[in-house]
Structure 1
């Protein structure tokens, strides 16, 4: 039997934070998968630039997925880890076809903005609970997604 968690955050707030982080994890994992898909399937005059950029992005997302899942576990809750769970929790939509390079950029801009909004939605719950580790994680994720969205948007002109 596991011991009771006593990290200074009441159980109801701890569980609410973990649930919000589970949504962020699902969005991040779905975006990781989509970015990897686009890395493999991009074509056109910007192939080399986009292929390498998408690789940088999905590598950063892979690290973020692990960090988010480990924070959920540190809060004493199970981290979702199946495609079914991610599908239920994610607001990022998968790409079921292979769009043009320009459409890939458009979708990824929207998706990075979506993930930034998800992180922002969880922030007040973490802040109210004085959960500084989660607040820091959320702040870092918002900054990363907003910067990536800006860079992708800049490529669209």
Structure 2
């Protein structure tokens, strides 16, 4: 007989989902700090528009970081919370001393590629686990980020 957690999900499935969500959380934390740095250090002709866009982006990432951590808790698990863990577990690398607008936008696009892929993996696992809460969260993130990636790609003239 399967052991169910407080929200009625199989405990093993919830643990597997939380592990994947913690990996996503690590990527979001590094992504967030990169964009925060871009916001602080952007220079050049595109300063005003990119400075504002980067602030919008990091605020959105911060909201998602909190939602992901709370989803992990809802699954009955613990969100990781050490930057050493984030750096170790993130596919997104730290971006240091980047101030060129084009390089910043390219980094953001690469980061969205990683997060979208991870979210699709979580979406698939959540579907197999009958976890509608995680499925809905990932579906919303994917839809929003695909549009943002398209817009940033258009901004780059590609």
Residue in 1 that maps onto 2:91? 91
How many angstroms apart in 2 are the aligned matches of 1:46 and 1:97?
Answer: 17
How many angstroms apart in 2 are the aligned matches of 1:72 and 1:116?
Answer: 18
Give TM-score scaled by structure 1 length.
0.93
- Pairing of 1:25-44 with structure 2 (within 5 A): 25-44=25-44
SS in 2 for 1:71: helix
How many angstroms apart in 2 are the aligned matches of 1:134 and 1:90?
Answer: 20
Q: CA RMSD in A?
A: 1.3
- Cα displacement string for residues 100-135 of structure 1 (whole angstroms, at most 9, x for unaligned residues): 211111111111111111111111111011100000
Give TM-score scaled by structure 2 length.
0.93
Structure 1 residues without counterparts, runs of 5 or longer: none
- Pairing of 1:2-151 with structure 2 (within 5 A): 5-151=5-151
1:7 Cα offset (Å): 2.3
- Cα displacement string for residues 11-61 of structure 1 (whole angstroms, at most 9, x for unaligned residues): 111100001111111111111111110001111111000000000010111
1:6 Cα offset (Å): 3.5
Structure 2 residues without counterparts, runs of 5 or longer: none
1:70 Cα offset (Å): 0.1
How many residues were matched structurally? 154
SS in 2 for 1:7: coil
Answer yes or no: is the 8 Å Cα contact 2:43–2:99 preserved in 1. Answer: no
SS in 2 for 1:16: helix
1:99 Cα offset (Å): 4.4
Answer yes or no: is the 8 Å Cα contact 1:110–1:149 preserved in 2. Answer: no
1:140 Cα offset (Å): 1.1
